[in-house]
Amino acid sequence: MSSIHRTAEQGFTAGAATYVSGRPDYPAAVVGWLGEELGLGDGKTALDLGAGTGKFLPFLLATGAKVLAVEPVAAMREQLVRGQPDVRVLSGAAEAIPCPTPRSTRSPAPRPSTGSPAGPRLPKSAGC
C-alpha cells in the first residue's frame, strides 16, 4: 500500500500528463549550485525523492552525477520514464526509500514549495 494520501495520488494520477507541460522549469543556474553547494558531479549519486514526472532530472544529470529517481505515484513514474528512459526509477516515498546501499547524504533537489533551496538533509543511512 502506498503511503501517499489517496486524494493526492488520485489527483496526480489524473493530471500526470498535464503536470509535465504545466509545471514551471527550474533556472539553468541550478546546475552550478548543485555542483558547488552539494558537491554533485562525476562519481556521485543523486537521489531525487518525490521525482514526479522528472522535471528536475535534466539538471541533476547535467552535473555528471548518477541519478536515482523515487516516486510514489505510478502515473507520474510513467511520465518520468517517457522523458528520461535512461534514469533508474523506483516506486517509493520518504517513509520507505527503496535503496539497497546508503550513499547520498542530502536531498539535492530544490523544491520551491519548501522555501529551502536544498531541502532537508538526510542521515547517511537514508539515501542511495
Q: What does the pLDDT read at residue 11?
A: 64
CB 40 within 8 A of CB 46: yes
Answer whether residue 95 is part of any domain. yes
The structural domain count of the chain equals 1
Residue 116 lies in a domain: no
Say if 72 falls within a structural domain.
yes
Is 12 among the domain residues?
yes
CA distance 103 to 19: 30
The alpha carbon torsion through 89, 90, 93, 95 (nearest 10 deg) reads -130
> Over the range 39-61, which residues count as b (16 or more CB within 10 Å of their CB) and which as e?
ebeeebbbbbbbbbbbbbbbbbb
What's the whole-model pTM score? 0.68
Asked if the structure places residue 115 within a domain, the reply is no
Does residue 20 fall inside a structural domain? Answer: yes
Residues 92-121 have pLDDT tens digits of 888 888 876 555 445 555 544 434 444 444
Question: Domain range holding 20?
Answer: 6-110+121-126
Give the containing element (helix H, strand E) for 15: none
CATH number for the domain that contains residue 19 = 3.40.50.150
